[in-house]
Amino acid sequence: MNLTKAFYILSLLILLPLTACQSQSQSDEAVYEYKPGDYSGIGKWYMGREISHVMGYQGMNWLERSDREQEENTSTLLDNMNFQSTDVVADIGAGSGYHVFKIAPQVKEGKVYAVDIQPEMLQAMKDKKKKQGVENVELIRGTEQSAQLPENTVDKVLMVDVYHEFEYPVEMMASIKKGLNSDGKVYLIEYRAEDPQVPIKRLHKMSEAQAVKEMKAAGFTLIENIDNLPWQHCMVFGKE
């Protein structure tokens, strides 16, 4: 199944409910804007960008599709991260663990924190961890506002097509920043909004300029944008 068709099918799946507008605090309203927008969005905006719906666990099979390597060149993505055997890595929005269990063998003396907010995704990774006998993966149930990482421990954070779904990007990035060590890096992977040929819905893409603007507000600076993936940015950020 090609990606265009697969993503169309995925768009028909039940999405997680919108909760942000039901509990807006004054501080929340100062950071975020609420207004109607795209049907794929939640009606909540940050720095001029509408936040998209979270992909529900019902799309798990799409994450594990057989042609994902061909479409996204995931091996090259992981090569870009230049793992050391002792690295502590956090995969935020890990989903079914597609990347987690490819990373784990590369950091045998380190650890992979697999973070997700959906119990169904965590259960899928728990089952996979048991089946494969993987010892260096730790599952973490995050929240909409925190990745729940231990402080100052993580060398590399991976976020694959998930940042644009953060309902609370300010709070999430603050929690991720706390989890990173002083030299830690964030690998932000997003479909390129600059390329109209990328067959992904508009709200599920990000431009480099928008990502840099939002990451700067979170206290990160762009180190490089590695341009070797078919459809995605591979933006590497470090602490300012």
Tokens 């956090």 found at:
90
Q: What is the pLDDT of residue 118?
A: 97
Whether the model pTM is above 0.85? yes
For residue 4, the surrounding DSSP H or E stretch is: helix 3-11
Q: How many C-beta atoms lie closer than 10 Å to residue 239's C-beta? A: 15
The amino acid at residue 226 is I
Q: What is the pLDDT of residue 27?
A: 53
| 10 within 8 A of 2, measured Cβ to Cβ | no
Q: Superfamily for 68-239?
A: Vaccinia Virus protein VP39 (3.40.50.150)
Query: Average pLDDT of each block of 10 consecutive residues along the chain (240 residues)?
Result: 47 40 54 96 98 90 91 97 98 97 98 98 98 98 98 98 98 98 98 96 97 98 98 98
pLDDT tens, position by position, 157-181: 999 999 999 999 999 999 999 999 9
Nearest Cα residue to 124 out of 55, 53, 64? 64
| 125 within 8 A of 142, measured Cβ to Cβ | no
- Measured CA to CA, the distance from residue 181 to residue 185 in angstroms comes to 9
Per-domain boundaries in the chain: 68-239
